[in-house]
Every structure is written in C-alpha cells, then in structure tokens.
Amino acid sequence: MTKFSHVIVRKPARSLIDGITSAPELGKPDYDLAVKQHDDYIAALKQCGVDVTELPALEEYPDSCFVEDPAVITRMGAIITNPGAESRNGEKMEIEPAIRQFFDDEHIKRIEFPGTLEGGDVMMVGDHFYVGRSARTNEEGIRQFCEILEGWGLEGSEVPLEYVLHLKTGVNYLEDGNMLVSGEFVTKPDFQQYNLIEIPEDEAYAANCIWVNGTVIVPEGYPAVLKAVQDAGYKTLVVDTSEYRKLDGGLSCLSLRF
C-alpha cells in the first residue's frame, strides 16, 4: 500500500476571490476564512504523519492554491502538466522549483502542447492511473501522460467525463479496494471491480475525500459521507473547505501527496 511522506501545498493568495468558478451563486470566498481553513488543512495533514512544504502565495494566479493541477507525482517521478485553463497555465512554471527539491531532471517529465492535462483529472490506484478526459484534459495530454507512465513501468487509462469538472470531483480512491463514487461514476464500467461507496446526490461534493496514511480527511458538513467512510473502517479527520468549494475546489485539489 502507498504511504505518503511528503505533501506540497501553496498558501492562498488574496486574489483567490477572483478564482475560476462554475458556481457563482455560492458567492465569493472570504479570504481570511480561506486562510484559516488552509491552516486547519495543513494541521490535519501533519496529524497523518507527513512533512508539509508550504509554498508562498502567488497573487498573479488566483487559483494557485490548488497545487494538484500543475503537477502529478508518482512513485517513479513527477510530471509537470499543461493546465487546460488558460488563466492557470503559468502555474506549471511556478510549481517546478518545489518539485526539483525532491526529483532530479531524469525523474521530471512534461506534458507538451497541444496536449493539456490537469492533476485533478488523475486518480492513482496503486500503479494504475485513471485519467479523466474533460474540458481541461484532452486526448493528446492523456496520450503523452500514459506514454510517460509506461516508460516508468506504470500504466494509465482514459475515463471520458460527461458532467463534472475533473475526474476527482466525483470519484476518489481510499486504498484497500474502496472507492467513493457519485453521479456519473456510480455506473462507469472502469470502476466496477472496486468496492464502491456511493455518495448521496445531496452530498456529492464530499466524494472528494483524501486518504493519507490510513486516515481519510473528509470535508465538514457531510454527515452521510463521514459515516460511510467510518463504516468502511477508516479513521477520519474533518476539515472545513467551504471557501474552496466556491471555486470548484476540494480537499484533493489543495495538495500534492507523495
């Protein structure tokens, strides 16, 4: 089973309030509350036994606290992605110095134009990586990604998305063969070999939980999901992510775990 020892996060910028959203009806994020929630998130990660590297805020990139998107880290090396959202594409250059603290040139690869790929579309299940084809991740990006994986003795497969922004918006692997699923992912053939824990539609946001060394971090305010995860035998920690939800962001988006 995977064990994480390192996590990279990035402090939210004041420009966070101008981040990309598909849910403007939720209102703009409260910056001070977002900072507090981010601090609580880091504290929860540390409780799971990882070292946390906190990068400074980037005012020019409102969504840059979502460090999962500009890079994917595998047990064999790191892949700098090519984010499909134009306003976020430059984040790949900003994340690279942090990646270089852990990997040398030989173990850093890149997704090149015309391929696009965002880490929120990538779900690791052991040595297999499911990649969502979305508005942000295209067929060429997935082809390059899978080619890199194969060079490292890993493998990947494409999962076409119909409704959600990113793959991990609606499906997340909790290790031990257990997978949280909501919406379109309940019936996808790609995942039928796993023990699927179905999330009720009114708590679909909380499908985005993260497993860290035997503990599952669950967003606050979703009692059915919390109970389902606990019933599956996991220790849980709860963190409020209300301000990140306003920007289509969740628990997995806020960190790179490796």
Phi, psi of 48 (to 5 degrees): -90, 5
Half-sphere exposure of 2 (CA within 13 A, CB side): 24
The closest of 64, 73, 69 to 103, measured between CA atoms, is 73
Count CB-CB contacts under 10 A for residue 200.
Answer: 12
Read off the tokens for 238: 């709860």
Q: Which residue has the tokens 């969740």?
A: 250
The closest of 13, 41, 93, 58 to 241, measured between CA atoms, is 41
The DSSP element (H or E) to which 195 belongs, if any, is strand 195-198
The closest of 5, 8, 40, 7 to 244, measured between CA atoms, is 40
**Torsion sign, CA atoms 218, 245, 166, 92:** negative
In sequence order, what are the residues at sequence separation of 6 or more whose Cβ sits closer than 8 angstroms to the Cβ of residue 51?
5, 6, 7
Per-residue model confidence (pLDDT) at position 1:
61
Per-residue model confidence (pLDDT) at position 2:
67
Confirm if 166 and 136 have CB atoms less than 8 A apart.
yes
Per-residue model confidence (pLDDT) at position 185:
97
Q: Locate all alpha helices (DSSP H) within the chain, ordered by sequence.
A: 31-47, 91-100, 139-151, 223-231, 242-245
Per-residue model confidence (pLDDT) at position 225:
98
- Indicate if 107 belongs to the active site: no
Per-residue model confidence (pLDDT) at position 247:
97
Q: In angstroms, how far is CA 194 from the centroid of its own chain?
A: 20
In tens, the pLDDT along 119-158 reads 999 999 999 999 999 999 999 999 999 999 999 999 999 9
The closest of 90, 67, 89, 87 to 6, measured between CA atoms, is 67
Q: Which residue has the tokens 């009720």?
A: 200
Per-residue model confidence (pLDDT) at position 58:
98
The closest of 216, 253, 204, 217 to 72, measured between CA atoms, is 253
pTM of the model: 0.97
> Which regions in the chain score pLDDT beneath 50?
none
Catalytic pick from 48, 65, 209, 253?
Answer: 253
- Indicate if 48 belongs to the active site: no
Catalytic pick from 38, 48, 65, 166?
Answer: 166
Read off the tokens for 131: 């990649």
